[in-house]
Structure 1
Amino acid sequence: MLSGFTLVRNAINLNFPIVATVRSVLEVCDEVVVNVGKSDDATRDVVAGIDDPRVRIVDSVWDMSKGDDTLALETQRAMDACRGSWGIYIQADEVLHETGARVLKEKVAEWDRDERVEGLLVNYLHFYGGFDRVATNRRWYRREVRCIRLGKNILPFEGAQGFRVGPGLRKVRARPTDAQMFHYGWARPARDMNEKFQITQNMYPWAAERLERKRQRDTLEWIPLLRPFTGSHPAAAREWIAACAQQPPIEVAPPRFKPAHLRYYISDWIERLTGARVFEFRNYVVV
């Protein structure tokens, strides 16, 4: 049995593509567990409206004062409710491309009997300031574990970006795949990005001043190595993307090069030459 799991709160206020998120993994999962935090909008009704018997809602109340730990704890709650032996994890601002969903299902079957393999990697596209450009410098992770064995002491780690194993927090042993995850968290319209910064201020009070400056700006900060995207978006996300296009977009500020940016260009040059990303942070070990 293959489970999917995710978590969401205030999906309407924050304009998360939660319907697309869930549908993108429903294509290959026997169940999808959605941890729905108590919200200030009709998020639960939206999830229930997907109207598929494979979708199981777990109602919860999140303690937002715990920062990153909140997301890890609530991801664990969703994991614990899964009944499968493997689980595909997806965040509420992500959509898995349909070809990637099928790849993950095939790879689970291929590697299920190899106990060395604890997880499967997906490749990431991080959209920034719209749906036609992606962030590619080394501060944005290229790959992450998004399919894991369940019930094997594998735990969400640091805001649930990834996972670790056991009390010693060993890195997950994972196999690469060609599956693609589309991350839209930084691509939403201007109003939604403003709301994002407000919520983040409440979660991370130690960074409130910096986040408030971001919130008050009308643009996203320019970052090095933004590149055009000319491929196709997941079918599940297209209706949501079309709706976003009806709202004022978030603009990216004009380029403003800083000496500190030079390291990103050097790193990118090495990666293009060798395929290796220097100083890359990984939650996993490739096996």
Structure 2
Amino acid sequence: MKVTGFSFIRNGVKFDFPIVEAIKSILPICDEFVVAVGKSEDDTLGLIQSIGSPKIKIIETVWDESLRQGGRVLADETNKAFQAISDDSDWCFYIQGDEVMHERDLPAIQAAMVEYKDDPRVQGLVFDHLNFYGSYDYIANSRHWHKREVRVVRKDKSISSYKDAVSFRRNGKKLNCKYVPATIHHYGWVKNPKIQLEKRKSFEKLWHDDNVVNGIFDNKDAFDYNLIDSVSRFSGSHPQVIEGRIKAVNWEFSFDPTVAPKLSFGKKLLNALYQKTGIHLGEFKNYNLV
């Protein structure tokens, strides 16, 4: 069985992406790893090269700035990395630049890859998705955050990244997947507030025109982490590869529910149901479970 990891990144240093930790977190169960490194305003290329693993294959890319609506350029870059994977790969393990897998979950993921390798019904594997927010000690816990996502797919030329790289489709249809009890640790919302503001300015331009983005962020010098309806304390353990970042935190996170966005009674009720039971009424899933 051959497993190839893949990812993409641009301005990884400037926006303090944990891309090195992301790659290292799944590298032990990958035979190869393809990284699409976009032309950057910093030494992102050198950062990826510094990992120093012979498994890593770097392809240098230029982001298509015309793909501005809906974050489509993110899927485009994902597809560039995916298409560069060798055809003899059985499974392709996708990890985004702000996602990290826990080392405790690698055996279960690897076992699932072996179990379903020759089962044509299974086109991908789905993992839990945990969204940290503002701090390594808190997670976003309302129902509109992704609960699970596809992160392992077959090497199939008819599979491609979907929308803003949130998931995958095969000939436009959802993949048939198996759920694996493993957790994606998403750290995209954990940064120094000043760096987070600059990252949000840049990324919002992948969805909106300059006037909209300027209207959102003008006259601000740091990201306001109170722009969320609900968080909860995280009581689990973090992946070992992220521990260095946790120790280096140089900001204080606080959440004031009195200034958080106000929800309607109905949404509050749905959130309470989700937080207490895990039931997400009306949940949209980017996959079919088989």
TM score, norm. by length of structure 2? 0.90
- 2:230 maps to a residue whose letter is L
Give the 3-state SS of the residue equivalent to 1:32 in structure 2. strand
Match of 1:123 among 123, 128, 131: 128
CA contact (8 A) 2:125 2:180 kept: yes
Cα deviation for residue 277 of structure 1 reads 1.1
- Flag the 1:65–1:278 CA change in 2: closer, same or farther, 3 A: same
Amino acid at match of 1:202: K
The alpha-carbon distance between structure 1 residues 219 and 148, as it changes in their structure 2 partners (threshold 3 A), is: same
Structure 1 residue 112: Cα displacement:
1.3
Deviations 1:247-282 (Å, cap 9, x if unpaired)?
A: 234554443466634334322443467643112121
C-alpha deviation, 1:240, in angstroms:
2.3
Q: Distance in 1 between matches of 2:83 and 2:44?
A: 21
For structure 2, list consecutive stretches of 5 or more residues without a partner in the other structure.
none
1:242 partnered with 2:243 = no
Aligned pair partner of 2:99 in 77, 82, 94 = 94
When residues 253 and 216 of structure 1 are mapped into structure 2, their CA distance, relative to the original with a 3 A threshold, is farther
Distance 2:261 2:50 in 1: 47
Q: Secondary structure at the match of 2:42?
A: coil
CA distance in 2: counterparts of 1:222 and 1:202, whole angstroms: 19
- How is 1:98-109 mapped onto 2 (pairs within 5 angstroms)? 98-109=103-114
- Give 3-state SS (helix, strand or coil) of 2:185's partner: strand
Matches within 5 A, 1:265-280: 265-271=268-274, 275-280=278-283
Matches within 5 A, 1:176-187: 176-187=179-190
In the alignment, structure 1 residue 202 sits paired with structure 2 residue 205: yes
> What SS does the corresponding residue of 1:267 show, helix, strand or coil?
helix
Q: What is the root-mean-square deviation of aligned Cα atoms in Å?
A: 2.0
In 2: Cα distance, 1:272 partner to 1:248 partner: 28
* TM-score (norm: length of structure 1): 0.91
Alpha-carbon distance in structure 1 between the residues aligned to 2:46 and 2:170: 35
Aligned residue-pair number: 283
Aligned to 1:65: 66
CA contact (8 A) 2:128 2:184 kept: yes
Letter in 2 for 1:8: I
Identify which of 235, 243, 251 aligns with 1:230: 235
**Matched AA of 2:35:** V
Aligned residue number for residue 174 of structure 1: 177
- Note closer, same or farther for the CA distance 1:149–1:215 as it changes in structure 2 (3 Å cut): farther
Does structure 2 retain, via aligned residues, the 8 Å contact 1:126–1:134? yes
- For structure 1, the 5+ residue unaligned runs are none
Instruction: Tell me, in whole angstroms, the C-alpha distance in 1 between the residues paired with 2:154 and 2:83.
Output: 12
